[in-house]
Homo-oligomer: A and B are copies of this chain.
Amino acid sequence: MFEKVLIANRGEIALRIHRACREMGIRTVAVHSTADADAMHVRLADESVCIGPPPSRQSYLNMPAILSAATIAGADAIHPGIGFLSENAQFAAMVEEHGFTFIGPSPEHITLMGDKVAAKDAARSLNIPVVPGSDGAIDNDVEAMRVAEEIGFPVLVKAAAGGGGKGMKVAESSNDLVQALSLARAEAKANFGNDAVYLEKYLSHPRHIEIQILADSHGNVIHLGERDCSLQRRHQKLLEEAPSPALNASQRTAIGETATAAMRRFGYRGAGTLEFLFQDGEFYFIEMNTRLQVEHPVSEMITGIDLVREQIRVAAGAPLSLAQDDVTFNGHAIECRINAESSETFLPSPGLVTDYHAPGGLGVRVDSALYAGYRVPSHYDSLIAKLIVSGSSRNECLMRLRRALEEFFIGGIETSIPLHRRLIAAPDFINGDYDIRWLEKFVASKE
């Protein structure tokens, strides 16, 4: 096992990784920008190295600086955390070239899954279900009708050269298809100088469901079930839960087996997440994240598995500490992402945290690097705390979350806590009745 791990990140995730290391008896090296000299991960780490000025590009994204820090500190391995360099294949390769262990998958896996088109092709070849559509451009209306009937209405007509919603039309039924095709072609021609279009199944009310994978270098792959991350605003997740209110046990087992079989064939190592759209009982692959996820704690709470510990173990060449049969799902967990931003305007609210009081008690976990007197820098992500609540049932979990949000107090800056309080009182949320478009509507309905 490693003696000393450098944590190439900041904020709550750096602290999360520090905690896992300390619990494994591994010494930690924090790296930080000058803006983070007083940050919690720096205070708690065994050692710290200042690697640059506040801008991320010159500090947390500065590969030579991080590698130099690892060298002077004598680290064995580097954990990239989430964001920053965590899905940078070049960094992963450099880390290994310099004789350190990269706590994550191989650079090749990162590269492949980092390319959206290649990732979908890979998924298809690994028998992971993707959104069905035409294989490439559609030549004529007859072919379009045949393909559309095959994949089922509604279908989406998309410009092959397109992007940004231009040249994109929904055909609800066969009656609309010809017109949708001609409108899409015209728009595509006008916008991209190319009228080629293709068809894809249109999902009107999908949920965002992702499967947590863990794999070691000995061919063992397990899944930790799903997380429902449908509550998003501008593609930012605000609250995640596991299990999903929309999945039953046989669906969970089926998609889990699909995912583990695929990852075994893929030769993947480390923690990873397969993201899907889910509608009407069907899964459609969107992308794979070849790293830890912000919302990983909800899986930890229902399985009792420490995901970061497993990441570190498998990076060190050890086998996974448990097999699929050892994974049990108990109760329910919800994570609220607390951001330093206005609950009304969503404008960032960096600044001095005058008071910080986290909730406690049974079933309440807080992952946060905040403390009273800390100044939230304006240079980085606005995520400042994760409140993770678990209970024996979804209802118990919701009740506990409500009381935990009542207790949570962060003074001096604005946070998303008021939005979370509103959100968990919404009947649709309480009923588990939401899709990926629900939160935008909920937020807009306030006005």
Which residues in A have some Cβ–Cβ distance to B below 8 Å?
Answer: 15-16, 19, 22-25, 44, 297, 300, 304, 306, 330-331, 355-358, 360-362, 364-368, 371-372, 392, 396, 399-400, 402-403, 406-407
Contacts and interface: CB of A to CB of B under 8 A. Distances in A.
A360 B355 contact: no
Contacts of A406: 22, 44
Contact of A403 (B23, B304, B366, B367): B23
15 contacts: A19-B362, A19-B403, A22-B402, A22-B406, A23-B400, A25-B399, A306-B362, A356-B372, A357-B371, A358-B360, A360-B366, A360-B367, A361-B365, A364-B365, A372-B372
A407 to B, nearest CB: 7
A284 to B, nearest CB: 32
A173 B201 CA distance: 88
Contact of A361 (B361, B367, B400, B402): B367
Given A331-B304, A399-B25, A403-B19, A365 B360 contact: yes
Nearest to A390: B304
A326 to B, nearest CB: 10
Nearest to A297: B362
Contacts of A355: 372
B365 A362 contact: yes
Contacts of A368: 360
Contacts of A15: 361
Q: Give the oligomeric copy count.
A: 2
Contacts of A44: 406-407
B399 A19 contact: no
Given A25-B399, A300-B362, A399-B22, A357 B372 contact: yes
Contacts of A16: 361
A300 B23 CA distance: 22
A438 B64 CA distance: 53
Residue of A300, A304, A331, A399 most packed against chain B (CB within 10 A): A304
A358 B361 contact: no
Nearest to A16: B361
Contacts of A25: 399
Contacts of A356: 357, 372
A392 B322 CA distance: 12
A375 to B, nearest CB: 16
Nearest to A25: B399
A364 to B, nearest CB: 7
For the complex of A and B, the 6 pairs showing the least CB-CB separation, nearest first, are A22-B403, A360-B366, A23-B399, A19-B361, A23-B400, A357-B371
A362 B358 CA distance: 15
A215 to B, nearest CB: 20
B396 A23 contact: yes
Given A22-B402, A304-B392, 17 more contacts: A15-B361, A19-B361, A22-B406, A23-B400, A23-B402, A23-B403, A304-B331, A355-B372, A356-B372, A357-B371, A358-B358, A360-B367, A361-B365, A361-B366, A361-B367, A362-B365, A364-B365
